[in-house]
């Protein structure tokens, strides 16, 4: 039959679960360890990012990038300038179950 809105919602949910399983297993940590790491840092949601090769890192303070550095795992550029993350990096919401980066248009809209 036709692909309905309900089918789309189920499909999107399955894709999210698959992405979650693929990304977290690549971290080499358990779910319990992931939760412990996030809790230990005690940051608001949205501070996690990944380099171009998928290695996670965190931006503290406001969560907006104010400097560039190198990924300690692979040497790729991470971070950014003027609260703009490098175009080769991306928000990693699977780490802390966030929907968007802490410093983003989405976050600013939610504060209004």
Question: Please, what sign has the CA dihedral across residues 108, 112, 42, 31?
Answer: negative
The Cα 68–Cα 50 span in angstroms is: 13
The Cα 32–Cα 16 span in angstroms is: 19
User: What is the pLDDT, as a whole number, of residue 50?
Assistant: 95
User: What is the pLDDT, as a whole number, of residue 36?
Assistant: 94
Neighbouring C-beta atoms of residue 7, cutoff 10 Å = 11
pLDDT tens-digit readout, 56-101: 999 999 999 999 999 999 999 999 999 999 999 999 998 999 999 9
79 closest CA partner among 109, 101, 99 = 101
Percent of the chain residues past pLDDT 90, beyond the cut: 62
| 22 has pLDDT over 90 | no
């Amino acid at each position: 039959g036709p692909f309905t809105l309900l089918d789309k919602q189920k499909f999107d949910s399955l894709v999210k679960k698959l992405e979650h399983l693929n990304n977290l297993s690549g971290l080499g940590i358990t779910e319990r360890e992931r939760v412990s790491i996030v809790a230990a840092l005690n940051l608001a949601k949205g501070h996690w990012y990944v380099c171009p090769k998928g290695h996670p890192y965190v931006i503290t303070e406001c969560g907006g990038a104010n400097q560039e550095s190198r990924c300690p795992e692979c040497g790729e550029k991470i971070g950014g300038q003027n609260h703009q993350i490098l175009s080769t990096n991306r928000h990693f919401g699977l780490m802390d179950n966030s929907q968007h980066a802490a410093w983003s248009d989405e976050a600013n809209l939610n504060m209004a």
